[in-house]
Chains A and B, each alone.
Chain A
Amino acid sequence: MIMLDHLMPVPLEERLSQNESTQIWNKKLAFSEGEWIKITAPSGTGKTTFMHILYALRFDYTGNVILNQQNIRNLTADELSAIRKQKLSVIFQDLKLFPHISARENIELKRVLQEPFCSAERMEEMAATLGISAILEQSAGICSYGEQQRIAIVRALMQPFEWLIMDEPFSHLDLANKKIAAALIAAECKKRNAGIIMTDLDDDDLFPYTRKLVL
């Protein structure tokens, strides 16, 4: 379970405190295990900031994020690493791939960073499903943004997790590819009984969301 207790990013405090429509900032709410949550966030409402706070990438906020009874602010570097290997997986808006190594190595790195959850064959299957088998040996940096987005999706599905955090994960995919990717993600989340927290600019029905919130 993830508890959000009156979160407010310090740099955005002035702007966000004027936002009366928000259902997240400065509110107390909980995301239950296995919930699939869509957070719609118009530009400038701190969408990426929120995702980074959830993933414990930044700590310049007031309030608390409690993950499984642990305040993520108090985690040591090694505890945080264990959580990122076992409990939280992420698809960043800016993808964060290593541009100089191949697409396969980008994905493989996440697969073997901990005890592998997926087999190498399953990885191949996922790549094939998303149509990136042909570019697996290419340096990630020279792949198109759409291909990079799909590499980042497969990479995020390589590990065990309780929550998959996605920040505009399909922004460069056409509708058909969006649906294929969403189906793959949904299948992998079901396999793990994992929850989804996805932010996007607009509303959508790519997943059978259990809750939709406005940031």
Chain B
Amino acid sequence: MKQLNSILRKLIRNSAGRTKFTVAVVGMSVAAFLLLTAVQIQVDYNQLLYSKSSKDSIANFLVINKVLTDANLGNTTLDDSIINDISKQPFTEAVGILTPSRFKASIQSNSNRFPFYTDIAFESVPAAFIDVNDATWTWDEQADFVPIIIPTMFLDIYNFQFSLSQNLPQLTPAIVKMIVLKVNIYGPNVTTSFNGKIVGFSDRISSMLVPQEFMEWGNKQFASDLSGKSSRIIIRTKDPGNPMLTQYLDQHQLTTDSDKTRFSKYRKVVDAVVVISGATGTLMLIFALLVFSLFIQLTIASCKEEISLLILLGASPTQLKKFIMKQFFPANVWMITIALLAVTVLQYFIHQFLSNQQIVLSSIISGYTVGSALLLIGVLWWVNSKAIQESIHPKRSKD
């Protein structure tokens, strides 16, 4: 077999030229690199968006309200039709209504050592949308106190701005949770006071939250206006960076915390990179495949006489096809391997770069990328095989 191959190598020479071969190989490698990079970028982006290690809880819940303009001042309530429409959108997993309090309220300190008083408004939201797990998050008329959740931001403002300027002590979340507040509710004719306790801090909803049971009871007892229309809703979404979501909000003049949808901008960039890299790679691959298969056919055509004589002496077309495949196909496997290695190195450096920015990304390439490389090898095998098959099989004349 070794002797046969060495003679065959002399007869079926790579006579189409080394330069053409090198151009074909380089073109194919770059094309494979671009395609595999596109796959890897897509996988990386999905990992950043969905993986547990980097999941940003605030990113998955969005509080939505109308954009406040001169035209809709005083009319910012969201009617049922728009809420239903939002709930039907593909990016929406669940919708919760933020119920505002329809009564006046205030909270004040029970302690003379730490005196404060402020008017306040509450909101409530279904418990499933709250990022604080607290067993006391419920209320009835016999309850000892009204549990309250405040935005983490409020405590930060107090600790890092207000307390310093007023010469007040800084408070840890644990201390805040121990303070018993006085909650005053003002009805049309009567004022009712409750004890209140801060039971948690929310990163998700920038509002003073009370349990829904308390809100329903309070609105029923003290509200002067019982229309109960809500101006804000909260939605749970798989991907706050979904451009469809931001587009929908824009179209319906709705808004949310733009920081939470910031991913949509990144995603557009990532999508563009993936599309450009993928399309360029595919286009280059098609041309490289064309060049490569023409190259194979040219080589076979230039050895046409030798091949016919070999067949005439008894070499089978299958035997020659296998031999020619062995001459060309390993170059293809090398090309894909090199492209895959280049993507691996790139991924490692991206991992290093992002880990400095506290973004966790895998340091190795994904199974999808390896799978795509194998698929590419399969495609190349098929194209090579087809090009050889078409050039080598003799057309038997029967005329």
Contact = CB atoms under 8 A, between A and B. Distances in A.
A60 B399 contact: yes
Interface size class of A (residues with CB under 8 A): 20 to 34
A60 B318 CA distance: 25
A57 B11 CA distance: 21
B312 A112 contact: no
Contact of A109 (B313, B397, B398): B313
Interface string A31-62: 00000000000000000000000000111100
Interface stretch (B2-10, B26-34, B68-76, B359-367): B2-10
Nearest to A155: B313
Interface string A57-91: 11110000000000001000110011011000000
Given A59-B397, A113-B4, A84 B313 contact: yes
Nearest to A156: B313
Contact of B11 (A59, A85, A101, A108): A101
Given A98-B306, A108-B3, A77 B316 contact: yes
A60 B314 contact: no
Contact of A98 (B309, B311, B396, B398): B309
Given A101-B7, A159-B314, A58 B397 contact: yes
B306 A81 contact: no
A113 B11 CA distance: 14
A124 interface: no
B305 to A, nearest CB: 9
A77 B311 contact: yes
Contact of B314 (A10, A57, A85, A105): A85
Interface string B383-397: 000000000011011
B399 A113 contact: no
B397 A60 contact: yes
B317 interface: yes
B317 A110 contact: no
B275 interface: no
A77 B395 CA distance: 10
A27 interface: no
Contacts of B311: 77, 81
B7 A59 contact: no
A78 B7 contact: no
Contacts of B1: 112
A12 to B, nearest CB: 14
Contacts, number: 61
A113 B8 CA distance: 10
B393 A112 contact: no
B316 A81 contact: yes
A114 interface: yes
Interface in B306-337: 306, 309, 311-319
Contacts of B315: 81, 113
Contacts of B7: 101, 105, 108-109, 112
Given A77-B393, A113-B4, A105 B10 contact: yes
Interface in A94-127: 96, 98, 100-101, 105, 108-110, 112-114
A81 B309 contact: no
B314 A78 contact: no
A112 B398 CA distance: 31
B3 A112 contact: yes
A162 B397 CA distance: 26
B10 A59 contact: no
Nearest to A105: B7
A109 B1 CA distance: 10
Contacts of A109: 4, 7, 313
Contacts of B396: 59, 77
5 contacts: A77-B396, A78-B316, A105-B7, A110-B314, A112-B3
Interface of A: 10, 57-60, 73, 77-78, 81-82, 84-85, 96, 98, 100-101, 105, 108-110, 112-114, 159
Interface of B: 1, 3-4, 7, 10-11, 306, 309, 311-319, 393-394, 396-399
Given A57-B312, A109-B4, 19 more contacts: A59-B398, A60-B399, A77-B311, A77-B317, A77-B318, A78-B317, A81-B315, A81-B316, A81-B318, A82-B316, A84-B313, A100-B10, A101-B11, A105-B7, A108-B7, A109-B7, A109-B313, A112-B1, A114-B314
